Structure 1
Amino acid sequence: MLGCATVTILVPQQLCIESDTLLCGSHASSDNTADGGMSHVVVITGASAYPRPCLGCINNGNKIQTRRTTKDVWVELQTKPQIMLQSVRMLEKNIPLREVNLVIYDAMEICSSEFISKKFPCGSEKSYASDIIPYLIHCVQRDCKGKYTAYQESISITLMSCLISLCLFVSWIPKFTLQFIDCVLINRLDYSSTSVKQIILRITQLEKIQEELQTNKGNLLSGRLLLMILIDVSLGITIACVISSYASVNDLYTYFRNWTKVVAEGVHMLLEWLRGAPAGLKLNQPLTQALASFFSYHVHLWHLYLDLAEPVLRCLAWVVVWVGAFGASAQVAVLADLLDLASLHLYCFYIYAARIHMLQISVLGSQWRAFRGRKWNPLKQRVDGQEGISSVGTLGRVLTPVLFTLALFLLPTTSVYYLVFVTLRIGLHMTRGLLTFTIWLLNINPLYLLLLNVTSSTKVKGDIYFSTVGELVPSHGSKHGCSSPLLLKLHTWTTPLCEVIACAHLQNIFPPRPAPQWKYILTSIMFGQQLL
């Protein structure tokens, strides 16, 4: 209960426009442990000519019979010129108005908010009279949920649901096709296509919007997804129109082909630089000539690969432009896949160099252990001492230092190639990460939630507090003298933006934030055992 009052009556401020009629709502009673009496809570949720149950009446002109002795609860209000309490009867006993708290609340704010019911869950029936706020929220959202929904809003939700259903009907076959392609790429080629995953994610987001519109008639999650998709698609179509007005698909492919040739020529010049003495380093000439020729041959194969893949690349250039119908995020995803195709030869170079580097590090470690009379036990995953060193043949004692010396003196040459290609790989990884981060930003756009928070919308109201308005001056028709109840006003605060974003976020609908795994990257660079 609020203070020491025996009865607390909560009245919506929307009743100020009502005239003489009956009141509907709920009431609860519980034992007051302070003085051993009873405490009562009456929640008025609306007015109707034939309410069930009837808890009282609005009497502005003494036209309604106010004496209802058969009722357990009877509240008489006056709404003109303001909401005032005239009389209260509980369990066939008149309650003095000085023992009553009259609380004015906004029913629309409580019905529209998604946070109030989560922060103030309704408990058991025994605690209804002591937990006023949860009981109030429970009664108002139960009785008035659809009362304050605008007709235009209902029509908009219905039209949006029909449009999304049409889009999902058209895209259900492409969705299963893309899921099959994604499984094949992952299982057979160990590659995850960013564009395929982005289009599947977009279809999943549309399915979630349809589900939310059909069940909750529009909430924070569906509004956030709708505005996010609208901005993404508008941006993608704008980019497609701008590109189409200044260049054709053939021009885009020509630009892409020239760029890949420039990259290939740059790699060829880098290999020629490594043939000599790069940065003044004296490398093993037979080995560096062999490695440079090996990688140069792969550059030549890359040129042939681009010539053979020209029809596919032209098709992808067309897709980059008109995939904007799925949003700018899909265009960026296709660019990420094109970057993977254009840098395939650099990835192969990195794999070759990493494997050679890992092999030399492994040979150095094993020969160093053998040189000291130790060996690696793969069953127990530990280093053990070799028993019977004297039994090792002369050939083994000679080959161990020879192999160790060869691996040690060839290590600088292979390490230079490895460092060069791992640097290129890290640069491509950073570019790929930038594109992935752009896709993530377009997919978690919180502009809708930010606008609701800035404008203090009723959808994001979550905290409640009371303010004292003063004591009501009793109306002339009051039947209990000069006493008047304490008038309180229920106010709501806007929920912090971080809580709003956390509430309107689902793991399978929004992609996780891309974060670099520094331990994995450093381990890959140092030992070459794991590939970036």
Structure 2
Amino acid sequence: MTNNLLIFVPQTLCTERSGYVLGKVIHDTCSGLKKFYIISLRKVGSVESTKSTLDIIGCHSNETEAVEEFLERKHANWVHIATKPSENGRNKEYHLLNIILNNKKIDLSAMRTMIILYNQQALLETELFESKTTSGDHFHELAKLIQSKKDELRIKSRFVHIWETLLTYHISFYLHLVLLLSKITDRLLPILKYSSLGLHVYHWLENVKWMLATVIRNRDFKLKTGNYALAIIIDIALGIFVLRLLRYYIEDQPSQLLLNNAEAIVESLKELINWLMGVPAGLKLNHVLNNTMGKFFLYHIQLWWTFLIFSKPLLDFAFEVLLLFGRLGITFQISIVADLLALVSFHTYCIYVYAARSVIHHRLFNIQLRGITALFRLFLGKKNNPLRERVDSCQYQTDQLFVGTLSFTILLFLMPTTWVYYTVFTLLRLASIAFGGFLTRLKFYLQVMPVYTFWRWLMRSYCTCSIVDIRLHPSCTKELTVLSMTMVVAPWRLTWKKCIPDTIICYPSIEWCTILNNVIWGYLLYPL
């Protein structure tokens, strides 16, 4: 039994001449709701010859035109809507002259009827409108129906058809070229994944492939694809500007400049380790362990510096190759800087690993800290039970207490020496991964630079609408409720978030608690 009737009418229907209305009738059996979705209107004489996938669900008469001819047609579901000027002449009044549901004529007083005037152009162009409920969202259902019939609703000129054809062939050429390059990078991915530039080239090709395929499918640039295309253009322009700026201010060879800076870093690290091998900040460290660790780290730094000197010819060739990719955009240059940062700070990373781990791959700082914690339970008469993941009481013998006390003393007095080296190089590691994380996020924001999206959002374009606003229409009566629906522009944060390309994964948020826990317990710190 149908108790409620909803009739969705385009706001432009009142300006149209009399004719048949096309759309779709949906019956919701759970709620007993009958919905008439009116999509378009056809003239009386052209209905039979016009090809349309929409059904004839009623008629519209502007004042009193051709009413008898409309009523001659027989349909299971039929609605006859009449519009006429109001008394003040400012608005249009809507009247329901005839309603047929399931081959039965319905009395308006026997059911609750509502006419909803919607903005068809807004629902046709919106790209951010999503349903917040699993079912029962009438406007979302209407929007999907309108967008599926957009080829029937839009009357394209000959110029538009020519433009779409040229755009499709032009984009298809670039798509085939990108697909060829993408196959090459897929095979080289096991090697490219070790380089920030290699990964960026791979992901960049995937993003461009998605954009070109989407443009061909839609035969036009939408909000996402238009925003990414403009971001690529700005990226390339910024990259060319930065390259010219660097060439103007930098006269030396890039490899020589890198070696000069690396030499300054090496000298600074040597001075730091020599300071640690003495009495840093008045701390009296274990002389044997301090001297051993200091010499080991100095040897490692010297080994790395020798490697850089011998690899200078390779660096010259690598810089020429990198400059070729640098012309593709500033994001490629950021990836190059990330690789150079990894190369320059490789020795500090190794020293940090050695300070956090011993040569036999057991964490030196971590094993000392956990050893002190475990041996401290010995004085309390407790021990850790790894099977049940709890701390149980335990009775220790005299020799066990002696060995435990001796081990606790040795670890406790060696701890300051290990802690000094671990603290210094952990801070260096934190600074390195912080700068690397900054480069990663800068590259992400440059890839999804919302210039095009912000312009469309600022102009209040229909494609940025996502919220439905419903208000009472002046032509309401006791028997008939008329509502007016408009689309509201989405908030800027939601608009920008929805315009990120599907192939670009947003960087994960920084887990400060995990980083702090890794620093305290001596676990390795990974890039942000």
Q: Which residue of 1 aligns with 2:334?
A: 332
Deviations 1:436-461 (A, max 9, x none): 22122223333333333322211122
Distance 2:27 2:423 in 1: 78
Listed as ranges, the matches of 1:396-407 within 5 Å are 403-407=407-411
The residue aligned with 1:298 is: 300
1:10 aligns with 2:13: no
Match of 2:153 among 147, 150, 158: 147
Corresponding residue for 2:490?
A: 495
Distance in 2, matches of 1:63 and 1:425, equals 83
Superposed CA deviations along residues 71-104 of structure 1, whole A, max 9, x for unmatched, are 45585868999977799455598999xx997765
Write the mapping of 1:111-190 to structure 2, written as runs, cut at 5 A. 111-116=124-129, 118=131, 133=139, 137=143, 140-145=146-151, 147-148=153-154, 159=166, 161-184=168-191
> Once structures 1 and 2 are overlaid, which stretch shifts more, 452-461 or 38-47?
38-47
1:188-267 correspondence runs (5 A):
192-217=194-219, 218-247=221-250, 251-267=253-269
Determine helix, strand or coil for the equivalent of 1:118.
coil
Q: Give the unaligned 5+ runs of structure 2.
A: 49-54, 359-363
Q: Return the alpha-carbon distance in structure 1 between the equivalents of residues 167 and 249 of structure 2.
A: 34
The answer to whether the 8 Å contact 1:117/1:137 transfers is no
Change beyond 3 A, Cα 1:5–1:175: closer
CA shift digits 1:230-284 (9 cap, x unpaired):
3323322332343345547x63322222111111111111122223222222233
Q: Decide whether aligned partners of structure 1 residues 339 and 162 sit closer, same or farther in structure 2, where only a CA change above 3 A counts.
A: farther
Give the match's secondary structure for 2:468. Answer: strand
Cα deviation for residue 418 of structure 1 reads 1.8
Deviations 1:20-58 (A, max 9, x none): 776544567899x99xxx988472513355225564467
Tell me the secondary structure at the aligned position of residue 463 of structure 1: strand
CA deviation after TM superposition for structure 1 residue 341, in Å: 0.7
TM-score under structure 1 length normalisation: 0.74
3-state SS of paired residue (1:512) = coil
Paired residues, what number? 494
Partners of 2:324 and 2:288 in 1: how far apart? 51
Can you list the C-alpha shifts for 1:392-447, whole angstroms capped at 9, x where unaligned? 7xxx95x7655544443333223222221112111112111211221222233333
Once the two structures are TM-superposed, the CA of residue 150 in structure 1 deviates from its matched residue by 5.8
Aligned-residue CA RMSD (Å): 4.7
Distance in 2, matches of 1:363 and 1:489, equals: 73
Task: Give the alignment of 1:387-402 within 5 angstroms.
Answer: none
Query: Within the alignment, does 1:321 sit opposite 2:327 as a pair?
Result: no
| Aligned counterpart for 2:414 among listed residues 410, 414, 438 | 410
CA distance in 1, matches of 2:369, 2:513: 19
Is the CA contact 2:181–2:205 (under 8 Å) kept in the aligned structure 1? no
Determine the C-alpha separation between the residues in 1 that align with 2:184 and 2:28: 61
Gaps of 5+ in 1: 124-130, 187-191, 473-483
Amino acid paired to 2:199:
K
What residue is the counterpart of 2:515 in the other structure?
A: 521
Structure 1 residue 385, shift from structure 2 partner = 4.4
Residue equivalent to 2:278: 276
The reply to whether residue 422 of structure 1 matches residue 426 of structure 2 is: yes
For 2:155 and 2:7, the matched residues in 1 are separated by 28
Cα offset, 1:510, TM superposition: 2.2
The letter of the residue matching 2:460 is S
1:449 is aligned to 453
Mapped partners of 1:139, 1:253: distance in 2: 61
Q: Identify if the C-alpha distance between structure 1 residues 325 and 529 changes in structure 2 by more than 3 Å, giving closer, same or farther.
A: same
Once the 2 structures are TM-superposed, how far is the Cα of residue 383 of structure 1 from its aligned partner? 7.0
Instruction: Trace 1:437-476 onto structure 2 (pairs within 5 A).
Output: 437-467=441-471, 470-471=474-475
- Whether contact under 8 Å (1:161, 1:214) holds in the other structure is yes
- Tell me the residue number matched to 1:47: 42
Secondary structure of 2:456's match?
helix
| Counterpart position of 2:524 | 530
Task: Write the letter of the residue equivalent to 1:296.
Answer: L
Following the alignment from structure 1 to structure 2, what is the Cα–Cα distance between the partners of residues 149 and 271?
76
CA distance in 2: counterparts of 1:343 and 1:426, whole angstroms: 12
Aligned residue for 1:509, secondary structure, equals coil
Which of residues 509, 526, 529 is equivalent to 2:503?
509
Alignment CA distance shift 1:371-1:21 (3 Å): closer
Match of 1:309 in 2: 311
Q: Distance in 1 between matches of 2:383 and 2:113?
A: 88
Partner Cα distance (2:481, 2:373) in 1: 85
Residue in structure 2 matched with residue 108 of structure 1 by the alignment = 121
Give, in whole Å, the separation in 2 of the partners of 1:386 and 1:185: 57
For the residues of structure 1 that align with 2:35 and 2:393, how far apart are their CA atoms?
81
Query: CA 1:240–1:159 in 2, change beyond 3 Å: closer, same or farther?
Result: farther
Q: CA deviation at 1:343?
A: 0.7
In structure 2, the CA distance between the partners of 1:351 and 1:335, relative to structure 1 (3 Å rule), is same
Q: Which amino acid aligns with 1:147?
A: L
Structure 1 residues 313 and 511: CA distance shift in structure 2, 3 A: farther
Query: For residues 146 and 234 of structure 2, what CA distance do their matches in structure 1 show?
Result: 35
Q: Cα gap change, 1:257/1:70 in structure 2, threshold over 3 Å: closer, same or farther?
A: same
Matches of 1:242 and 1:499, distance apart in 2:
36
CA distance in 1, matches of 2:385, 2:107: 89
Instruction: For residue 306 of structure 2, give the secondary structure of its aligned residue in structure 1.
Output: helix
